[in-house]
Chain A
Amino acid sequence: MLQKKVCMLGSFSVGKSSLLRRFVENMFDEQYHTSIGVKVDKKVVNVSGKDLALVLWDIYGEDAFQKMRMSYLRGMHGYVLVVDGTRRQTLDDALALNERVVSEIGKVPALLALNKFDLSDQWEIEQARETQLTAAGWTIAHTSAKTGDAVEKAFLHLAQLMLAP
């Protein structure tokens, strides 16, 4: 079966792990997060009749105290940049992080997940900004780890991007 290494990137507490919990088979304890800063999960998806194993590296969110280990990203085939849609700052941080990633790893398929879409009344990201991002080449998914909305679809989409020649 074809396999792809996918990393989950984003600031602290934007809901990366929650998104994964919606989606994957768990094997390792959440403790790995806090100890070595990464937790590995797996999900098999079916893209146009072919099985694809996504090995998902859920990387501990960056915060003031912990910088992300770039070395975890080596060899990844794609990544999901997760943003908390109710905190505009997390989008800015994510885009800054993305720049570092691109410069270090190079360009690989990526998806921008605007998470916590269920909290639409607290939404801080304007439509104009989204349009701008789409124009810049981002594929945007409005996800909600709480309701599960669009989560599967987002990962499927990324899988398709990674399989594209």
Chain B
Amino acid sequence: MPRFQTAISYLLLVLNVLLLFLLIFQEKVVIPSWMQPIGRLHPLMLHLPIGFLIVVGLLWVFQQEFQGESFSKVLGFVLSFTAFTATLAALMGFFLSREEGYIDSLLDWHKYTGIALSFLLYGLNILYQQTKKQKTFFNATLAVSILILTITGHLGASLTHGEDYLFLSKNSEVALIINEDTPVFEAVIQPIFKAKCVQCHNEQKTKGELLMTTLSGLVKGGKNGPIWVAGDAFNSHFLQRANLPLEDKKHMPPKGKAQLTPQEIGILTAWVQSGADVKKPIKALASGDPIQKWIESKNKQQHTTARTYDFEAASTSTIEKLNTPFRTIFPLAYNSPALQADFFVRQAYKPEQLGELSEIKTQLVALNLSNMPIKDEDLNTIAQFEHLEKLILNNTNITGNSLSALSKLSALKSLSLSGTKITKTSLQSLRKFPQLREVFVWNTSVSQPDIADLQKQNKEIHFELGYLPKASEILKINPPILVNEKFVLDPQTPISFRHPLKGVTIRYTLDGTIPDSLSAPIYESPLFLSDYTLVKARATKAQWYASDVVQYAFFKATYRPDSVTLLSEPNSQYKGEGAQTLIDRNKGEASDFKNKAWLGYRENPLEAVFTFTKPIPLKNVTISTGINIQGYIFPPASIEIWGGSDKKSLRLIQRIIPDQPKENQATRIEAYQSKITGVNYTMLKVIVRPVSKLPIWHQGKGQPAWTFVDEVFFN
């Protein structure tokens, strides 16, 4: 070990003398090119003395933790290595410092402190070898060394990473707010330089003597002179370098660094070609200019908008206070001071709610009062919202007489007055509105010629008249709507119709004929029916074609059988509620044959027996069926009514053969009535036979048809 210590002491002495020599004659020293790589290893070497010195400090502080002779030897060993590596690092640093591109003052300080550290550690090493007992002096030197180490390290880091490397965070960079007045140079060109060039051309590291962080640096250029020739991209130095092949040593940015994209080169070229104007604002760009297109697409991708407001934002508490379920106020966007206010639910509107908005009168840019009972005098309140750009007053109670009050709104661009009582005269005051560009006047007394007149006076304003019905276009009105939901007559509930459109005439017939639109009775009040009736109705209105005819069958039900049994099973898919389906007075609908109100038969006829406990003076039996031609549901082939007092005495009363359709017909309910005279029965049997073969014109020709029955009525 002593031999090693001796050797390293001599080595240290030699190296430090060399260092001192170089320092004194630094102006004259020229580093041969083969030695340059040694200098470039400085960033590697410098970490060793930092680490070793920290270990020395720690061992020294905690020396009481260790026992035995070897501790001082270990400490001495580490200390000599600290001094050795520090000297090496200093030498290498010196070589590196001869290369260009660093700021002189910072570099000088780093150089001197680094060399001082090397000397100090050499001294510390000697001090430790010779005077192991003199702790105070050693302590002081060690402390100073660590201090110098810290300073040197910081200076070195400032050189490589920039002077503000320690406390700079991305946050502290002020984001550039780009609007149409921002110069193209700042908005587009500088960000490209910043991303791709300034890593090597900054204040700390100014390769090729070119400083690209400032405008003056850019204009001055590098050691080859100015980097661009305004208006001549072809002869602009930096573009020539950017366009060299990647392998070329002069290609910029150098191989291995982030490269300019073809689009970026295109943008830079376009900018230089157009004169390299550093002041030209974005708005001065011609539309279609490649730079303008680039900004537009960047804006869209980055979700930025050009519109900014320079007034103060309202406080969150004010906005919260003014927000109610019926009056919502919200910022146009995150971080925007501009506010929009909407009113909802006419019933909940109170006049003072509008005035309360004066707390945000500066910030309000859009106000929607659609359908609110706003009166003419309220426009004076609205006139105080100085930055209002869009105002919606559709279907409010204003007459337009006080519209001129709004002329104070110098930013107002869009005004909606549809569905109000405004007049052409009142619209003339809009001439005085400086920014107004669009006015919506649909569904007002204002007419097409009025608009033409107004347009002449106000060329800047577009008046939107909206949809006007064409007299030549006549549409078919929709049919009347039946109010009743039940189709079994009930003396308390007359039959009533309605139509959602005003001014409609409903005409009807009760005799099964088609109501015409001129002579058929007009429906004026609810109809009282006393017996089974087929009601047909249609709606008519001037300027409209008459509606389709709707028909509804209403049934009278006097007697309810005491029991009913089915002698034949319905199809398993349409079993309804069993036999009771036929007498439960629950009518089915032709639109829904799957409903439990229906019984469906196909392969076999419906056969049902109805019994009464005492003989009933029956006048008729009505069988209600459904028809849906496309759904294979046809009128029955035949209906038989049998009567008697018990099963054995049943006799055929009547056989009905319904007319079969010759073509497709409307889906509907159709009833068949059998008259009975003179005999009182206690038992009746009804047989309904489905059509066994569909006619040839039907898509299911040859197949059996369906029969659906929902109810049998006895009167």
A interacts with B: no
Q: Could you tell me which A residues sit within 8 Å of B by CB distance?
A: none
